Chain A
Amino acid sequence: MKLQTQYSRATIISSIVVLLIAGIGYYFLLHYVLTQQLDETLHVEEVEIIDYIQKNQSLPEATTFQDQRTSFRKVSNPIVRHFTTLMLVDSTDGDNELSRQLTFPIAIKGDYYAASVSKSQEETEDLIVLVLLVTLALLLLLGILLFFFNRFILKRLWRPFHDTLSSIKHFDLNAPSPVKVPKTSIDEFNELNESVNMMTEKVMKDYLSLKNFTDHASHEIQTPLAVINSRLDLLIQDPGLSAESLHQVQSVYNAVDKISRICQSLLLLTKIENNQFNDKEQVDIKRVIQDKLTELDEWIHGNSLNIQTDLRLSHVSMNAQLADILISNLVINAIKYTTQNKTITIHANSNRLTISNPGLQKLNDNLIYDRFWKSDKSDGTGLGLAIVKQICDKYGFELKYEYKKEFHQFSVQFN
């Protein structure tokens, strides 16, 4: 939920609750005040009647004047003075009316009377409801105005935040300069922007040094490897070396080859991660596969492998070098792990590339794309499939491994 919505919801709900409570309170307060006033009027009436009786020693006439009436009733014992609220029949239209009545005792010449002065309360009630409605309407209007005003203000206030957000979203590690978010008049956002600026600058710096580190480390390793290789190349020229020594030299050669390939693969992975292969072209996948098979022809025939191909016209928009590496890694894997006289099938069309080769056991498909993961038989770097995966991820291709009928099948869905 948006901050604004959440804020509006909270304000609306709390306003309604407060308005309800205040409305009820307001009603009772008004009611109380007005009833007090009415009681005061009745009390004035009472004083007038008592005055009259003291002067005249007789009951005044029972009257009904407008909404006010007076009546007397003879009682045997003196009664207690009290106020009541009750329904009385209106003499003019015969309707029941809510009224306030004050009943008080009078004594004339030894006789006790209960005198009642009553006044209709209808008008008071009407007044209360009217006042209440007007007040509520005003409050409601104020609430609505505040709501829209808040919306508008909030939108304006949050604008710098959205600007910052959008510049963070567009932040590209490979962009030549770090993100610069503009200054605003709001301290909190300025603080945020400063932090964002500082953070992105730091990220850029770290990223650059990491990039350079991998680059440098890989390159720095190549030169000592070149020294080892060249020394071995000289060493094997010595005619006095025994078969055993040469056998050991062979192991060192192989190890050097392997380190060198690991370095190159790691460097390649870093470069793909760093988006250093941004040139794109329409790569003819069919052609790349054919070239690769020609290049590996001796190897394929040397191992007496059959290659069955079904290559359709297929153009994929990607970097040519990465296309070559992608296909090369998959094809070489298939060749490497296929035993003599077996068949490898390669299918390609504009949507899909599938390479399958016979294998005895399903590979662990949770691990095959992990860096340095190797099957038991592998003597490779353990980076080939990681590179394939990285290339597929870069272009959003779906890479799938399946094991069907004793065949490993790798497929790349191009779109």
Chain B
Amino acid sequence: MKILIIEDEKELAESMIAYLRHESYTCEVASTFNEGLQKIETSDYECIALDITLPGGSGLKLLQELKNNNKSDGVIIISAKDSIQDRINGLKLGADDYLVKPFHLSELAARINAIIRRKVHNGNNILSFNEININTLTKEVTVQEKILELTKKEYELLLYFISNQRRVISKNALVSHLWSYEMGSGSSVDFIYTHIKNLRKKLQEKGSQDYIRSVYGMGYKMTD
């Protein structure tokens, strides 16, 4: 699966590629408006991560170009601007999602996964990890075909883990995924522990193996 990253900050683009490569995505990078334009005109991508402020022009113009050419590439805008108006502008032009800088790579991966699920695997909304299956359309979770009842946050947590399977996810990334940034960091990220404990307990009760591991108290990893 091909992903295009249009981002002028090379360091950031490199990190994004390094993380996404693990998910068996092929990544290409464009660092200017013109480079991006050339790439979207010549090939198709499953998903494009698009920065708005680019040397040579606005990312929103590229988005418009894409829609004018009736391309169905999924687009996630990555912007430092987080006002409602910026989001609305982006989504109105046909972007599938809007991610505000700074973000965690796990968040980016989860959102790109979601876009690709919707765009590419049309109809196939099942996300799996060994015996655990999630139907992202009905939001139903089954373990060995037994239905697992989860709270909304536990469901989001599990989805996030499966989207970032076999990776270490920091507590900060989990907290900012589940709650807004305004909650604060430091000691307050610790209460995520309770939720993960509950999720693990529920999974095991239905006969799942214990896949979620703590990484020295600073993060978690879902791995077999």
Contact = CB atoms under 8 A, between A and B. Distances in A.
B83 interface: yes
B182 A328 contact: yes
Contacts of B191: 298-299, 302-303
A306 interface: no
Given A260-B181, A379-B186, A219 B102 contact: no
19 contacts: A219-B80, A220-B80, A222-B102, A223-B102, A225-B102, A227-B11, A230-B11, A230-B12, A230-B102, A230-B103, A250-B172, A253-B172, A254-B186, A257-B181, A258-B185, A264-B181, A332-B183, A379-B185, A380-B184
A303 B183 CA distance: 14
Contacts of A220: 80
Nearest to A233: B105
Nearest to A261: B181
Contact of A298 (B168, B195, B218): B195
Interface in B178-196: 178-189, 191, 194-195
Interface in B160-175: 167-168, 170-173
Nearest to B191: A302
B132 to A, nearest CB: 21
A219 B186 CA distance: 24
Given A223-B80, A295-B179, A236 B168 contact: yes
B176 to A, nearest CB: 7
Interface string B74-95: 0000001111100000000000
B185 to A, nearest CB: 4
A234 B18 contact: yes
Chain B interface size band reads: 35 or more
Contact of B102 (A229, A249, A332): A229
Contacts of B186: 254, 379
Given A261-B181, A302-B194, A329-B182, A253 B102 contact: no
A380 B188 CA distance: 10
B182 A332 contact: yes
B20 to A, nearest CB: 11
Given A222-B80, A249-B218, A302-B194, A232 B170 contact: yes
A234 B19 contact: yes
Nearest to A321: B84
Chain A interface size band reads: 35 or more
B65 interface: no
Given A223-B102, A236-B218, A246-B216, 6 more contacts: A226-B80, A229-B104, A230-B104, A247-B216, A261-B181, A295-B180
B124 interface: no
Contacts of A218: 80
Interface string B81-119: 111100000000000000011111110000000000000
Contact of A226 (B102, B195, B216): B102
A246 to B, nearest CB: 5
A256 interface: yes
Contact of A233 (B81, B170, B179, B217): B170
A244 to B, nearest CB: 9
A260 B175 CA distance: 15
Contacts of A256: 102
Interface string A223-243: 101111111111011000001
Contacts of A230: 11-12, 15-16, 19, 102-105
Contacts of B217: 243, 246-247
